Amino acid sequence: MNFTVLVVNAIAIAGVIIAFYRDGAKAVRSLKAAAVSFVRILPMALIIILFIGLLLGFVPPDQISRFVGEQSGIGGVLLVGAVGALMHIPALLSFPLAASLLESGATVTAVAAFITTLTMIGTITIPLEIKELGKRLALLRNGISFVVAIAIALIMGLIL
Amino acid sequence: MRKSLVRDIAALIVVAGIAVALLLVFPEKQAAVTSTSWNYLVEMIVILPGVMVIMGLFAVWMPREAVARYLGHAAGVKGMALSLFLGMLPTGPLYVAFPLAAGLLKKGARVANVIVFLSAWACIKLPQELVELEFMGARFMTLRLALTVAFVVLMGVVIERLIGKGEDHVYPEDVVEGDTHE
């Protein structure tokens, strides 16, 4: 048990206690919503967990680092950024995936690019975004987000 | 939504099948793969339920109508900060934010603020930051957070310059209210 885990669970427990104290019915609804989101994210979480195991077990670090490590340069960063933009997995699950890549030889830049494009850009939700906000706004936001994500990743690579 | 759960479960079965097959063919990899997967499973199991509870509490106590109401009043630098803060609250997936953002634009909110709100909603969610802290460490998380906030604000201003402040408008007329799929 580390500090972050303790803080998260302490906040959750304190929140639930306060919630029941304020309004029992609403508290129950919150817990139901939490249970539903947990069930929804679970299959994808298990997929990611299996994938990480297979990735670290089967693919040697020098292979991983060829694509997303020191040798791959800016091309590797753009590639992971594009993969992140296209992927549609919950952001919460991108962190363990990113951690496993980092563990197996990916650079901070590549991993930061992956997380940032994954969360900022929603290729699958672009049609909906266009419908609600118009083509110009939606395409500008997603397009500039890609550039911004790569910039953030490169700066992080320089600093860390 | 239900459909996507079925799809995810089907995908899980396929991935699990592949994993089992691979491990049967390469038994020497079994130890490494299972111990790695097990470690990540434990690490996720101790943090995800707590994160879900926090998100559930916010979803019920801070419904999106309330977010829109607060955001409607926002102007100036304060408005920008408020957009950022409200976007960061754990209140649901990105597609929920599109109709909200469209409503704000219609009411004459600044384009920059709406972009900041959307982007914060997409990528600077508070519970996500906690999970990032757990898996990526404090230095990675704080640096990425600081850079993201700075760039998101910059992006809002740039996009606003490109398409105009937002009185004459950008959103399509025939928006179907509250129409959220997935």
Report the percent of chain B where pLDDT is more than 70: 88
Find, among A75, A88, A9, the residue nearest to B95 by Cα.
A88
Is residue B7 one of the residues assigned to a domain?
Answer: yes
pLDDT confidence tier of residue B51, bands split at 50, 70 and 90: very high
pLDDT at residue B175 in the model: 44
- Counted domains in chain B: 2
pLDDT at residue B170 in the model: 46
pLDDT at residue A140 in the model: 94
Mean pLDDT over the full length of chain A: 92
- Counted domains in chain A: 2
Q: Is the pLDDT at A145 greater than 50, yes or no?
A: yes
User: What CA–CA distance (Å, rounded) separates B91 from B62?
Assistant: 8
Task: Kindly state whether B128 is in contact with chain A, defined as any CB-CB distance less than 8 angstroms.
Answer: yes
Last residue of a domain, one of A42, A58, A74: A58
pLDDT confidence tier of residue B96, bands split at 50, 70 and 90: confident
Do B106 and B22 share a domain, yes or no?
Answer: no
- The amino acid sitting at A65 is S
Do A126 and A69 share a domain, yes or no?
Answer: yes
Q: Is the pLDDT at B21 greater than 90, yes or no?
A: yes
Is residue B121 one of the residues assigned to a domain?
Answer: yes
* DSSP H or E run through B147: helix B138-163
Structural domain harbouring B13: 2-46
pLDDT at residue B73 in the model: 67
Give pLDDT tens digits for A34-88: 999 999 999 999 999 999 999 999 988 888 888 888 878 888 899 999 999 998 8
User: Among A4-8, B112-116, B162-166, whose mean pLDDT is lowest?
Assistant: B162-166
- Hey, what's the torsion of the CAs at B138, B34, A54, A116, to 10 degrees? -20
Computed from CA positions of residues A30, A36, A38, A44, in that sequence, does the dihedral angle turn out positive or negative? negative
Q: Are A145 and B111 in contact (CB under 8 A)?
A: no
Q: Which of A13, A32, A128 sits opposite B95 (nearest CB)?
A: A128
Do A78 and A105 share a domain, yes or no?
Answer: yes
Do B25 and B75 share a domain, yes or no?
Answer: no
Indicate the pTM of the whole model.
0.87
Give pLDDT tens digits for A127-143: 999 999 999 999 999 99
Stronger pLDDT, B2 or A123, i.e. the higher one: A123
Is residue B76 one of the residues assigned to a domain?
Answer: yes
Task: Kindly state whether B130 is in contact with chain A, defined as any CB-CB distance less than 8 angstroms.
Answer: yes
Q: What is the mean pLDDT of residues A84-103?
A: 91
Q: Do A38 and B48 touch (CB under 8 A)?
A: yes
Is residue B170 one of the residues assigned to a domain?
Answer: no
Q: Are B70 and A101 in contact (CB under 8 A)?
A: no
Do B69 and B157 share a domain, yes or no?
Answer: yes
Q: Which residues make Cβ contacts (< 8 Å) with residue A69, sequence separation at least 6? A: A76, A105, A106, A107, A110
Q: Is the pLDDT at A158 greater than 90, yes or no?
A: yes
Structural domain harbouring A150: 62-160
Do A95 and A110 share a domain, yes or no?
Answer: yes
Do A74 and A124 share a domain, yes or no?
Answer: yes
Is residue B179 one of the residues assigned to a domain?
Answer: no
pLDDT at residue B173 in the model: 44
User: What CA–CA distance (Å, rounded) separates B119 from B113?
Assistant: 10
Do B76 and B108 share a domain, yes or no?
Answer: yes
Is residue B96 one of the residues assigned to a domain?
Answer: yes
Is residue B168 one of the residues assigned to a domain?
Answer: no
Q: Which of A13, A137, A151 sits opposite B151 (nearest CB)?
A: A151
Burial letters for A102-133: b for 16+ Cβ neighbours within 10 Å, e otherwise? bebbbbbbbbbbbbbbbbbbbeebeebbbbbb
Do A53 and A68 share a domain, yes or no?
Answer: no
Q: Is the pLDDT at A106 greater than 80, yes or no?
A: yes
Stronger pLDDT, B158 or B165, i.e. the higher one: B158
- The amino acid sitting at A78 is L
Do A48 and A14 share a domain, yes or no?
Answer: yes
Is residue B75 one of the residues assigned to a domain?
Answer: yes
Do A52 and A98 share a domain, yes or no?
Answer: no
Q: Do A141 and B123 touch (CB under 8 A)?
A: no
Do A75 and A129 share a domain, yes or no?
Answer: yes
Do B78 and B158 share a domain, yes or no?
Answer: yes
Q: Is the pLDDT at B12 greater than 90, yes or no?
A: yes
CA within 13 Å, CB half, B20: 6
Do B63 and B42 share a domain, yes or no?
Answer: no
